[in-house]
Structures are given as C-alpha cells and as structure tokens.
Amino acid sequence: MRSQPFQLASSQKAPWHIHAWLPEGPARACVQIVHGMAEHGGRYAYLAHALTTQGYAVYAQDLPGHGHSVASEAERGHDADHGGWALAQRAIHRVRAEIGARHGTLPLVMLGHSRGSFLLQAYLLDHAAGLAGAVLSSGTASLGAARLPGLWLMQIEARLRGAAHRSALAEKLTFARFNRQFSPNRTAFDWLSRDPAQVDAYIADPLCGFRCSAALWRDLLREAGKLGNPARLAALPKDLPLLLLNGSDDPAANGVTGAQRLLQRYQQAGLTRITAHVEAQGRHELFNDVCADAITARLSLWLSDVMAT
C-alpha cells in the first residue's frame, strides 16, 4: 500500500486534507470514505490496507472542522457558523471530482460512517448518478423523537452562546446517553466498540473525541429530517448497489430498529440492489469492533460482486 496524502484548496482558512492509499499495481476501482463526527479520515488506514491489497484506491478526506482540515485548534469541531452542511457536501463533491481527475472512468464507491452516513444519504439525493455503489455504515433513517427537541435546543444555544460554541449539552444528550447502555462503563466511549484497545486508541488520538459546535449539531439535526422526502428518494437510480452495515447494539443508530427503518426507506424508494447486514452485538464502529475482520471481508465480497456486474 502506498500512502499519498494531499490537500485541496478550500473556501476556508485551511485547505482540505485528503488521505490517499493506493495499491502497488494499477487500481481496479476507487473507494471514497466520508468519516463520522469527532474523528478523521486517517482512522481508516486499516480498512484501506485491506482494500488496496485487492486493487482499490482508497480516499478518506478530513471533513471541514476535523482532522487536518483546520487552520488551528480553535476551529476543531466547527465547520461554519451557517451553511456547514452545504460546505461538507461541497467538500465531498470536490474530492469526488479529484478522484475522477486522477483515475478517469474507474468505478467509484462511496462509504459514509455515522454522521458521514447522513452526509452520504443527502449527497446521493443530488449526485448518485455515475456512482458504482454506496455503503452506509452505522446509518439510520432518522434520529428519533429526540431530533426536533434537540434541534430546538441547538438553535437556541447557537443563538445565545454563538454558533461556534462547543456544546456540552449536545454531548450529554447523545454520547453520554449512548454510553449508559453499557454501564458499568470503563470509559466514556464504551459505546463505540467492544474492543478495549480500539476504544483506548480513540481516546488517545488528539484528533478524536473533541466537542463539536452548536452549529454543527444544529445542521445535522435539521438536515437529517429532510432525508426521507419521498419525491427525492424516488429519483434515485433504482439499480444503485447499496450496502447497509449496522450493529445490533449501536445506540447511535438505534440498533436493529434503526437498521430496519433505513432498509425500508430505500426499499420503498424502489431500489432493487440493496444488501443489509446487522452484526449481532456490534456497536457503533463496526470497522473498529471485535468483528472488524468479518465486516471488512463482507465489504470486500460486496465490492467484488458490484465490480463484476
């Protein structure tokens, strides 16, 4: 595997940082990864290693406000006072264009994890054409009954304390609540994985686990409510290969119930090439859980099937 990170000019103070891992020989296809909240693209190096050995070129950008796509620590966890969601969408599309410029007509599959799965769901509504497939990791169809009250609270907090205010309230209502499912807790992030070493690595990573802004939370809660629009879903390519990966014990995606609702959303939209897997006892980060090898193998098999058709 050859690691060749690069940067792209952005409308922000800092350029967008992209992690790129290339196979030793010619690439057969490309995979673009959209990471989750309070993490970064570099965490997917292990997945890239598995995929590059099979001939895939793998790209994982650091989204605005994350990873190395910040000008200073003061920007970490905040993408924009207004329009942060649209900014992230533009960043995703810009990286897709760069992949196309580098690899021409090679097939491209996008993978979104957690917040990245919501960003990818939104992206597909506008830009699914031309993709070879999409993977939603730890995704769900909605954020449940708490979405609207949470949106209201984040709107108030952004207005009173500033859009860039790092929201302890949002963290308490989400991550802290998720972790209670696994009491007694060893750490504040037990909900991420059953593998203690992976949880400890997340905690030790200075580019992970930071508090995000009221504006970033507000935008996520607002835009997640728009993803179920029947008319827009009906416009998706019916033959788009879609892989849904969920953990039965993932509190962020509401476990089996959340996985079933996401599957139903795309079935009702008429998509005919959906593959769904719920990992028994899997938590939020399946690619960092004790099932990581099995999940990676499942993804690899699905990719091979997609490339063969």
User: pLDDT per residue over 232-282, tens digit each?
Assistant: 999 999 999 999 999 999 999 999 999 999 999 999 999 999 999 999 999
Note whether residue 222 is domain-resident. no
Q: Examine residue 269 and state whether it is found in any structural domain, yes or no.
A: yes
**In the chain, how many domains are there?**
1
Structural domain containing residue 138? 2-143+228-308
In a domain, 173, yes or no: no
Nearest-Å Rg of the Cα atoms of the chain is: 18
Closest CA to 296 of 107, 50, 105: 50
**Could you state, in chain order, the average pLDDT of each consecutive group of 10 residues for the chain (309 residues)?**
94 93 98 99 98 99 98 95 97 98 98 99 98 98 85 98 98 96 97 99 98 98 95 97 98 94 97 98 99 98 96
Give domain status of residue 242, yes or no.
yes
Q: What is the pTM of this model?
A: 0.97
At residue 212, φ and ψ (nearest 5 deg) are -100, 160
Residue 155 in any domain: the answer is: no
- The answer to the question of residue 190 being in a domain is no
The answer as to whether 9 is a domain residue is yes
pLDDT of residue 142: 80
CATH number, residue 55: 3.40.50.1820
Q: Is residue 82 part of a domain?
A: yes
pLDDT at 51: 99
Interior angle at CA 36, CA 34 and CA 37, nearest 5: 135
Backbone phi, psi, residue 101, to 5°: -65, -35
Q: Which residue has the tokens 């967008």?
A: 16
Two tokens, residue 68: 């190395």
Distance CA 223, CA 206 (A): 28
Residue at 36: amino acid letter: G
